[in-house]
Amino acid sequence: MKVRILGVVVLTALILAVAFSVSVPAAPKAGNATALPSPAAAATPAKAAPEEHPEIHDALHALRRAKEHMEHAAHDFGGHRVEALRATDEAIRQLEICLKYDR
């Protein structure tokens, strides 16, 4: 019984983490967007672009690790492990679609 509750809590936490990271809008940039860049700023070389959507990539990594742990679990947990694996696969699929949609 304790293992079942733990499994449900872990699955719920993963789903909420993914849902929250997808639903949080990006923060607006500080400063005046219409101001011209200073000559010093124009003279500095451009830095490499940051990774797009690091939260979604982190969530994908966490879901894939969780799936791997569930696949190697010692018990079936009354069929709930199979259902959790299906839900994890669907969450991974949805996040991959999110990343493709953004391009």
Q: For 29-83, write each residue's pLDDT tens digit.
A: 555 555 555 555 555 555 555 568 899 999 999 999 999 999 998 888 888 999 9
End-to-end CA distance of the chain: 44
Q: Is residue 40 part of a domain?
A: no
Sign of CA dihedral 26, 30, 33, 39: negative
Q: Looking at the 3D structure of the chain, how many domains does it have? A: 1
Judge whether residue 92 has pLDDT over 70. yes
Establish if 8 belongs to a structural domain. yes
* Residue 43 falls inside a structural domain: no
User: Structural domain of residue 77, as residue ranges?
Assistant: 2-24+52-102
Assigned domain for 90 exists: yes
84 in a structural domain: yes
d(CA 79, CA 89): 16
Total-model pTM: 0.51
In a domain, 76, yes or no: yes
What does the pLDDT read at residue 45?
54
Q: Is residue 38 part of a domain?
A: no
